[in-house]
Amino acid sequence: MSKSSESKSAVSRRSALKTLGLGAGAAAALPLWARYSSAETAAPIRIGFQKHATGIGAAYGRWYDRTSQAAVRLINEAGGINGRMVELVTEDDGTDPKRGAEVIEKFATQSNCDVAFGTLFSHVVVGSAPRAGELKLPYFVVSEGHHVASGMLNRYTVQPGITDVKSQVQAMAPFVSQNLGKKVTMIFPDYAFGHDHRDFFTAAIEAQGGEVVGLIPIPPTETSFTKYFPKIPRETEVIYHVMVGPGVLTFVKELGEFFGPSRPEIFGFIDSLEAVDLASPGLEFLEGTYFWEGNPRYAQPDQTEYDKHFRAAIGIDENGASINDSKDVSTYAHMFGCWETLYVIKAGMEAAGYAGPQDRAKLIEAVEAITTMPHSNEHPQGAKVFNGKTHQVFGPQYISKVVDGKLMVVHTASIEDGMYPDEVDYTTQAL
Amino acid sequence: MTETQKILVLHVGLIALLFALNFILPAYHHGNLARVMVLATYAIGYNVMLGYTGLLSLGHAMFFAAGMYGMALSIRHLGFAPAPALLVGIASGAGLALVVGLLALRTAGVAFMIVTLMFAQTVYLTILLAGRWTRGDEGFVIQQHERVLWGIDLSDPSSRYLAALTLFAICLFATLNLIRRPLGRVFVAIRENEERARLLGYNVFRAKLFSVVISGTISAAAGASYGLLFGYAGATFATVQYSIFPLLWVLLGGTGTIIGPFLGALFMFYLIDLSSGVTNAYMLIAGVALVVLVMFAPQGIAGELRRRIWSWLP
């Protein structure tokens, strides 16, 4: 008995060792992809938030964060996604494409995130997207760059919460040509962002019967702009400006000094003045000029219930500043994109029956199948049309005039004004 | 064991260890180490100038970017395959280094630092201004199908890791060989006392030019490989920040040591990675770590190892 028992014990030890050996061998022989899969859990859905906490995008990052936190809080209060709570996993990308790609890898292989989300600056998106595609991590960007719809990126990169620059610029041309003038001089930063405006707006205004009579690129290191203004042709009826960065206040002040009281019409993109108080000294010259706004910063007389809901949830007053600090002005024209994107992720996950990382491909297909989004608490900026082939959303654009130091909406461009032919069909790419 | 054997054991051992790690590291650290090896190669290039020749450049990002853009633009606009594109990238860096060396080496000390900084700024602005081809600050993607080298898909994690390791190993041993040869000895002689080297009859200008070209070529190889392995080329890599990084890595790891650049790049990478999870002020932590290291280990990690344990460390 005892012998038999010993024998059994010896056999089981041997088999245990054998099993361990086989296990170790199998582990060593595991194909590499096996390390990149993770098990389904009942834990919260983890959304990796690629935040511009430091670097040039920090002002945007702060407000993208507040907006995202508010949306996630509301989603969780309403029961989460597919019965699971949502958790934002925030990583600073330093507004740097190298760090951005590293953060994407961290989300996919270290933090066990289900998706990545929230990037604004185009160079970070373009630097990060290849890694998201390779890791098959759905990457929801809020960038307004044309990089997604241009076909440069991949099937796992989607922009469903904010329109792109091509759409925005194109939608402005009818208003500019019909109300401000047909002869336009463009002042723009001499790099990709400015070049996009130059190329897209030139084509759009010509389609409206107008023309660009002057192109004035400003080198990115410039700190004083006065010497460029004499280059503005005398026939100019409208100045179109898209200056960004710390020099914008100097730009506006010097433009005002150059023209004095008699100036052509002026149209600009609010990107220049996001997170900047319009009451800042030197900006008085902007009175009576026009701006594109992705979402109106100042609460309008016809403010919707959806906009009220959005402001209240984040803590923003009627002037687009924090309710706790009126000097802390938001990036209101862009940050709604985070809110709307999170609700698209929710809708996509619910449609796909998303249960875990193994369903990432289904999630992409479910988002691609979305066509329209009604104006609602989930989409407070306006109704949207989503193009599943180009992975790009289209929506209304706002044109506001500075009146008594506040931006008042004078025109709303329709969704159709911003539409253009498809340049890619991502659905033909393998998942 | 002779000194040469010890040196071989250490460096071959490091490469063997890195090779073994390919099979056991978790995915996240596996990807990180691939990246660190490419960045360490960049630092190895930098160390040839700073560590062995005593030339402090503040503009090395131009060589990294020349390699990256030489490779990426020839794929994007000329339809080159990865192998010739890689060679174009390396040749771009070597050519740029030759031109910069010929001009900048007419200065010395602080003036040399400023001149290299200015050249790098020129390269950066050129990339922005040539936006029609480079996509300026936004950069562009090198698509997955364009990154298949001799049938090996470099976007595959294991292939990427082994490619990075190959690059790192080649540059590590090439540098190790260089500094043990007469040319490398002349570099060190210049670093220690340039006047004396000149007095002994060495052509100091020519030797320094060799150093700049070798350094620029290795940095360009790193830049070209980085773009190819991670699928992106962007102007950010030509900014001042990316000229300062290799300086930090080399200082942290140990100037004038072969393994120092790797140790510095690894240390700095994980310092930022871990501290960024704790605070937004992670660069402050990196700064404090640098100050502490300078105070208590002024010769860097490998320099301190050489001082305390391995006096034979090259």
**Tokens representing B314?**
């090259």
- Over the stretch A287-339, which tens digit does the pLDDT of each residue have? 999 999 999 999 999 999 999 999 999 999 999 999 999 999 999 999 999 99
pLDDT of B247: 94
Contact A133 B32 (CB under 8 A): no
Q: For the CA atoms of B4, B6, B11, B14, what is the dihedral angle to 10 degrees?
A: 170
Q: Are B260 and B300 in contact (CB under 8 A)?
A: yes
Residue B153 lies in a domain: yes
Cβ contacts of A108 on chain B, cutoff 8 Å: 27
| Cα B260–Cα B264–Cα B266 angle in degrees, nearest 5 | 120
| Cα A428–Cα A429–Cα A430 angle in degrees, nearest 5 | 120
**Tokens representing B206?**
């020519």
Q: Which domains does chain A have, with CATH numbers?
A: 45-163+334-395 (3.40.50.2300), 166-293+401-408 (3.40.50.2300)
What is the rounded distance in angstroms from the CA atom of residue A225 to the CA atom of residue A215?
14
Residue B135 lies in a domain: yes
Q: Are B221 and B266 in contact (CB under 8 A)?
A: no
pLDDT exceeds cutoff 80 at B118: yes
3-state secondary structure of A91: strand
State the sign of the Cα–Cα–Cα–Cα dihedral B193, B194, B200, B206. Answer: positive
Strands across the sheet with A392-394, in order? A372-373, A384-387, A392-394
What is the number of other CB atoms lying within 10 angstroms of the CB of residue A73? 14
Contact A109 B26 (CB under 8 A): yes
Residue B202 lies in a domain: yes
Q: Is B128 on the interface with A (CB under 8 A)?
A: yes
Its domain, for residue B53, covers: 3-238
Residue B195 lies in a domain: yes
Length of chain B: 314
Contact A219 B137 (CB under 8 A): no
What is the rounded distance in angstroms from the CA atom of residue B279 to the CA atom of residue A414?
43
CA distance A389 to chain B (A): 19
What is the rounded distance in angstroms from the CA atom of residue A119 to the CA atom of residue B40?
28
Cβ contacts of A129 on chain B, cutoff 8 Å: 141
Q: Which residues of B160-171 are buried (b: 16+ CB within 10 A; e: fewer)?
A: bbbbbbebbbeb
Residue B167 lies in a domain: yes
Cβ contacts of A123 on chain B, cutoff 8 Å: 137-139, 234-236
What is the rounded distance in angstroms from the CA atom of residue A123 to the CA atom of residue A96?
8
User: Least CA distance to A51: which residue of chain B?
Assistant: B280
- Over the stretch A68-89, which tens digit does the pLDDT of each residue have? 999 999 999 999 999 999 999 9
What is the rounded distance in angstroms from the CA atom of residue A271 to the CA atom of residue A292?
9
The reported pTM is 0.88
Cβ contacts of B139 on chain A, cutoff 8 Å: 97, 123, 126-127
- Over the stretch A258-275, which tens digit does the pLDDT of each residue have? 888 888 999 999 987 888
Q: Which residues of A199-225 are buried (b: 16+ CB within 10 A; e: fewer)?
A: ebbbebbeebebebbbebbbebebeeb
- Over the stretch B144-193, which tens digit does the pLDDT of each residue have? 999 999 999 999 999 999 999 999 999 999 999 999 999 999 999 999 99
B212 — pLDDT class (breaks 50, 70, 90): very high
- Over the stretch A128-149, which tens digit does the pLDDT of each residue have? 999 999 999 999 999 989 999 9
**Who contacts B181 (Cβ-Cβ below 8 Å, separation ≥6)?**
none
Q: Is B283 on the interface with A (CB under 8 A)?
A: yes
Residue B185 lies in a domain: yes
CA distance B67 to chain A (A): 16
Contact A221 B27 (CB under 8 A): no
Using only the alpha carbons of chain B, give its radius of gyration. 19
A5 — pLDDT class (breaks 50, 70, 90): very low
- Over the stretch A345-397, which tens digit does the pLDDT of each residue have? 999 999 999 999 999 999 999 999 999 999 999 999 999 999 999 999 999 99
Cβ contacts of B130 on chain A, cutoff 8 Å: none
Residue B292 lies in a domain: no
Query: Between B293 and A64, whose confidence is greater?
Result: A64
Structurally, how many domains does chain B consist of? 1
Per the listing, tokens 């990180």 go with B32
Contact A127 B139 (CB under 8 A): yes
Which residue, among B287, B278, B219, has the nearest Cα to B248 in the 3D structure? B287
ipTM attached to this prediction: 0.89
Backbone angles phi, psi at A198, to 5 degrees: -55, -50
**Who contacts A143 (Cβ-Cβ below 8 Å, separation ≥6)?**
A119, A120, A121, A122, A125, A159, A162
pLDDT exceeds cutoff 50 at A7: no
pLDDT exceeds cutoff 60 at A33: no
What residue type is assigned to position B108 of the chain? Answer: A
pLDDT of B308: 87
pLDDT of A23: 45
Cβ contacts of B30 on chain A, cutoff 8 Å: 32, 35
Residue B136 lies in a domain: yes
Nearest to B234 among A92, A126, A153 (CB): A126
Nearest to A91 among B156, B232, B276 (CB): B276
DSSP A352-402: HT--SGGGHHHHHHHHHT--EE-SSSSSTT--EEEETTTTEEE--EEEEEE
Pairing of strands A372-373, A384-387: antiparallel
CA distance A151 to chain B (A): 10
For chains A and B, CB pairs below 8 A equal 110
Q: Is B232 on the interface with A (CB under 8 A)?
A: yes
pLDDT of A51: 94
Backbone angles phi, psi at B170, to 5 degrees: -60, -50
